[in-house]
Every structure is written in C-alpha cells, then in structure tokens.
C-alpha cells in the first residue's frame, strides 16, 4: 500500500524470504518517517546492539546522522532504534522508533511508553515484561 497523507509519501514494506514486517512496525515507520531502506541500513551496520525487551529479541541503534556529519547541536540529535527477532531463517521486524537525544550505553533500552503499550496490547510483550 502506498499513500500520501500530506506529511510524506509512504511505501509500505513487503514481506520477503528474508524479512517479515509486523503491522506494528509499519505504523511506526509511517509515524517516525522511517523507510524500509533506512531500517535495513540500521540492521546492516548498527552503532550499538542491545538485548531487546521481548523474549529473544535484539535491539539495534544507529545515530540519525553520522558523527561529525551534522550541524545539529548535541541536544537535537536523535537515534534510530530497531527491534527484531530471528524466527527460523527470517528476521521478524517488530518495532522501530526515534529516541530524542543520545541514549545511555549499557542501560535499559529507551523505548517510549506509547510503543510499550502498543506492544503489550498486540501480545508481543506480556504485562510482566518491562
């Protein structure tokens, strides 16, 4: 599905033999203005890799712009996070979000509360997790 809501032109990612895209991540890609190519780039060369909050998931992070290549002050920098799970030979893309600022290394993954609530309501997370 492709549509234009006045903010941006959005092309929904297609499931392939390599990737499965959940409806949750499709909505978040539209919300945060992230394309399939941008998330594949995060997957291919992450700046950081953490354990995800859902069982057997992995969270990857990449700065929204490469270090030294931005004129934004440090307060305006953002990070792009991707959470996925390996199921058989496929990567199940679960969620993606932009984190405002620079997240602390080695600590709990900074996931916005609205995303956590959506993941719980969709059954990806249980109430006991996070």
Residue 26 belongs to a domain: yes
- Could you tell me the pTM of the whole model? 0.76
Q: To which residue do tokens 């997240």 refer?
A: 103
Domains in the chain, number = 1
Q: Which of 124, 114, 52, 110 is nearest to 80 (CA)?
A: 110
CATH of the domain at 85: 3.30.2310
pLDDT tens profile 26-53: 999 998 989 999 999 999 999 999 988 8
Q: Which domain holds residue 56?
A: 15-121
Residue 10 belongs to a domain: no
Phi, psi torsion values for 14, nearest 5 degrees: -100, 145
**Residue 11 pLDDT class (50, 70, 90 cuts):** confident
Residue 9 belongs to a domain: no
Tokens of 82: 């991707």
pLDDT tens profile 74-114: 656 789 999 999 999 999 999 999 988 777 787 777 777 88
Residue 55 belongs to a domain: yes
Residue 1 belongs to a domain: no
């Amino acid at each position: 599905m492709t549509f234009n809501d006045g903010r941006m032109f959005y092309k929904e990612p297609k499931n392939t033999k390599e990737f499965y895209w959940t409806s949750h991540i499709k909505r978040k890609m539209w919300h945060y203005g992230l394309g399939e190519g941008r998330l594949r780039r995060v997957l291919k060369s992450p700046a950081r890799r953490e354990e995800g909050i859902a069982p057997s998931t992995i969270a990857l992070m990449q700065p929204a712009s490469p270090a030294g290549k931005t004129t934004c002050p440090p307060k305006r920098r953002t990070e792009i996070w991707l959470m996925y799970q390996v199921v058989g030979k496929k990567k199940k893309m679960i969620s993606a979000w932009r984190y405002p600022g620079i997240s602390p290394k080695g600590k709990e993954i900074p996931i916005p509360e609205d995303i956590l609530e959506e993941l719980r309501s969709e059954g990806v997370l249980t109430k006991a997790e996070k």
